[in-house]
Amino acid sequence: MIYSTVSSVLSAAVDDELIARNPCKAASVRRPSIPPRRITPWPLEQLRDLHDQLPERYAIVATIGAGLGLRQGEIFGLAVDDVDFLRGRVHVRRQVKVLPDSQLLLALPKGRKTRTVPLPHSVRDELAEHLGRYPAVHVTLPWETRDGEPTTAALIVTTRERKAINRNYFNAQIWKRALTRAGIPATRGNGCHALRHLYASVLLDAGESIRAVSEYLGHADAGFTLRTYTHLMPSSEERTKSTIDQALNPRAPDVPQAAD
């Protein structure tokens, strides 16, 4: 946490041209290892409760996060032109970033990696309904740096003032209040990122490949996805026993497989 804070301050200094490079990102600096933490995905009922407690114009945030696996900044940076309603795809092309002084920028997704994710029918329908109530707003922000090229995107989720959303304000004033109303502890583990974990857990439970889940989440390495979510993958123990039994004794009746 301390390392990340110091690195963020130094990155801001680079943006302000006070220093040439961020020393925390030098090859000779070893980032402190973070002890792995076991992710416990939300029950679907908890998602529904939160969705119902968010203000109407922000309820779509829960659906986009859990239904597409986008990061919070990517949700706020999603434009109507990124959604291919006909082919059922969403192109994740940008995020809304917040500088330490609260200035907002448009930038490439984390890792500077764009991606395409499938658009489920349920998410498509709610997106269309949301846009009928709250049409996309053309927002212009600097690209990548505070002095970057002004870039305009027709954002799907914006504030009542028709501006891009500052995650710090959203988390404190919108998200945490909705958690409280839904009876969900307002802890760090219940932040907006919990929607992304739920997305991954639902796909893995349904048997989706770890490589596909990694691509949809925008991870640079499928190994990271596996290390993060391996405990959520269905157990193959009973399936393994049944497969070997059938191989060694093909005349034996099928052994019922336990549900994953």
pLDDT at 43 over 50: yes
Count CB atoms within 10 A of the CB of residue 137. Answer: 18
In sequence order, the 6+-apart residues with CB closer than 8 A to the CB of 1 are none
pLDDT at 232: 82
pLDDT at 102: 93
**DSSP element (H, E) containing 12:** helix 2-15
pLDDT at 247: 84
> Per CATH, which fold does 41-164+184-232 belong to?
hpI Integrase; Chain A (1.10.443)
Separation of alpha carbons 240 and 123, rounded Å: 35
Q: Which residues pair with 79 in a beta bridge?
A: 155
In 3D, which of 131, 135, 138 has the Cα closest to residue 106? 138
pLDDT at 260: 44
State pTM to two decimals.
Answer: 0.80
The model's confidence at residue 240, banded by pLDDT at 50, 70 and 90, is: confident
The domain locations on the chain are 41-164+184-232
Tokens of 136: 């996309």
pLDDT digits (tens, 9 = 90+) for 169-212: 999 999 999 999 999 999 999 999 999 999 999 999 888 999 99
Count CB atoms within 10 A of the CB of residue 119. Answer: 19
pLDDT at 74: 98
In 3D, which of 42, 39, 62, 72 has the Cα closest to residue 185? 42
User: Between these two residues, 38 and 218, which has the higher pLDDT value?
Assistant: 218
**DSSP track, 204-253:** HHTT--HHHHHHHHT-S-HHHHHHHHGGGSPP-HHHHHHHHHHHH-TTSP
In 3D, which of 199, 200, 216 has the Cα closest to residue 92? 216
pLDDT digits (tens, 9 = 90+) for 103-149: 999 999 999 999 999 999 999 999 999 999 999 999 999 999 999 99
The model's confidence at residue 19, banded by pLDDT at 50, 70 and 90, is: confident
In 3D, which of 42, 25, 52 has the Cα closest to residue 196? 42
Separation of alpha carbons 196 and 231, rounded Å: 16
